[in-house]
Amino acid sequence: MNNLNSQHLASNFLAYLKSSVLPVFARTLTNTGSFSIYIEPIIQLIKPKWKSSKISAKVTSVRHENSSIYTLTLRPNKSWKSFKAGQYVQLCAEKDGALITRTFSISSEPSAFKANGKIELTIRQQKNGLLTPWLHSNLKPGSTVYLSKASGDFTLTDNSANKLFIAAGSGITAIRPLLKEHKNAPWFKQAKLLFYVKNKSERLFSDDLEILEKYGLDYKFIYSDQEGRICQQHINNFCHDITAREVYICGPSKMIETTNKLLQDQQVPKTNIHFEYFGPAPLILDPIDKIILEDENKFIQVDYLKSKKQVSFKPESTPQTLLDMAEKEGLKPVSGCRIGICHQCICKKKQGRVYNTKTKQFSDTGSEEIQLCLSVPVSHVELEL
């Protein structure tokens, strides 16, 4: 048997041990499927921040961008592989003994990670936020946070077509890596960026944009305090060949909805319009959904079985997710990203139908686990909450 075959057999044997034998052996001894979970408390005596189920990252710097936005530079451990420009991660930090998760776009480019092993997350402090102000005040070089693998579909679909990028506020964080990573692509010489900020003090990445301008990027800041929010005139004045371009949009949900409609009114094909919500998607029910709602009784009722609370509303009222409704009732269900990524808000539905705002599908009436942040009740619903 030659050396190559021996290596191949050894590799297959180790893979078999790891996938089949070791989990069974671990469960027999430890009642878990992983030795690492069992020995976690022991390892934490030496490395207090080590967690078996999470990918750790060290903070290398916290950079102030403007009065409300800062950038974390992180060095993930070797378990974190890479990402595509435009993707996001879930960041988990330990605050007052509790692990809190939020989702942020990666604002640096993959080639930079390949060169130095670091990524950047550019974060807006939410005034009453649970985590974003705390991160800015408490993280220092050497602090440990935890990351998910990179996810998201806000990536280039065509590396040849001319492109228009439209950003609002911190929405630029997902667009910046798309621009920096592809600055040498042929299409970049015709690339355009329309960037909405409140005023001059809210500008982000001005130095980067000046450098990218030398590669061909045509960009313009629009100050919404003076010129208003996005409108057809802004788009037409800045980009005369809009129907011949791919368009990438990132910003608040309402801005995305408005921009998407403006582009479609200008006959831009839907396949050429790309966006990913920077927060929860707007709750807009299609006509068929409204018919289903109207077929119900005069009121839709939600029962919180464990909390012994109840709420009801008229079907024609503005739809709300079960997470928003629970919080308005004073309940505190576990939640994280609020956009259906982290799965922390999963809850058992005992009965009733809900509409999933992400999949655009209705559940059946039976018992199942649902995500509160995505689920809108369309009949009498009972929750184990």
Q: In sequence order, what DSSP letters do the residues of 31-42 get, joined into one string?
A: SSS-HHHHHHHH
Provide mean pLDDT across the span 245-256. Answer: 93
pLDDT band at 225 (very low <50, low <70, confident <90, very high): very high
> Quick check: 367 pLDDT over 90?
no
As a whole-number percent, the residues of the chain with pLDDT over 90 amount to 51
For 275, the token pair is: 């966006």
Q: Which of 29-33, 135-139, 184-188 has the lowest mean pLDDT?
A: 29-33
Domains of the chain listed by start with CATH number: 3-46 (no CATH), 55-147 (2.40.30.10), 163-275 (3.40.50.80), 287-383 (3.10.20.30)
Q: Which pLDDT value is given to residue 167?
A: 96
> Quick check: 279 pLDDT over 80?
no
* Burial bucket for residue 89 (CB in 10 Å: 0-12, 13-18, 19+): buried
For 200, the token pair is: 């001059």
Q: Which pLDDT value is given to residue 67?
A: 87
Q: What is the mean pLDDT of the chain?
A: 84
3-state class (DSSP) for residue 225:
helix
The model scores a pTM over 0.75: no
Q: Which pLDDT value is given to residue 74?
A: 98
pLDDT band at 71 (very low <50, low <70, confident <90, very high): very high
Q: Which pLDDT value is given to residue 39?
A: 41
> Quick check: 302 pLDDT over 70?
yes
> Quick check: 294 pLDDT over 50?
no
Provide mean pLDDT across the span 111-132. Answer: 93
What is the residue whose two structure tokens read 């052996």?
25
Q: Which pLDDT value is given to residue 38?
A: 43
pLDDT band at 242 (very low <50, low <70, confident <90, very high): very high
> Quick check: 161 pLDDT over 80?
yes
For 62, the token pair is: 């916290």
3-state class (DSSP) for residue 381:
strand
Q: Which pLDDT value is given to residue 72?
A: 97
> Quick check: 309 pLDDT over 70?
yes
| Nearest C-alpha neighbor of 60 from the set 123, 126, 117, 101 | 117
Q: Which is more confidently placed, 268 or 279?
A: 268
What are the E-state strand segments in the chain? 55-64, 69-76, 88-95, 98-105, 119-124, 144-147, 163-168, 192-197, 218-223, 246-250, 273-275, 300-304, 309-313, 346-351, 354-356, 361-362, 368-371, 375-377, 381-383
> Quick check: 8 pLDDT over 60?
no
Burial 61-76 (b: 16+ CB within 10 A, else e): ebeebeebbbbbbbeb
Q: Cα–Cα distance between 250 and 260 in angstroms, integer? A: 11
pLDDT band at 35 (very low <50, low <70, confident <90, very high): very low
Residue-wise pLDDT for 73-98, tens only, equals: 999 999 999 999 999 999 999 988 88
> Quick check: 135 pLDDT over 90?
yes
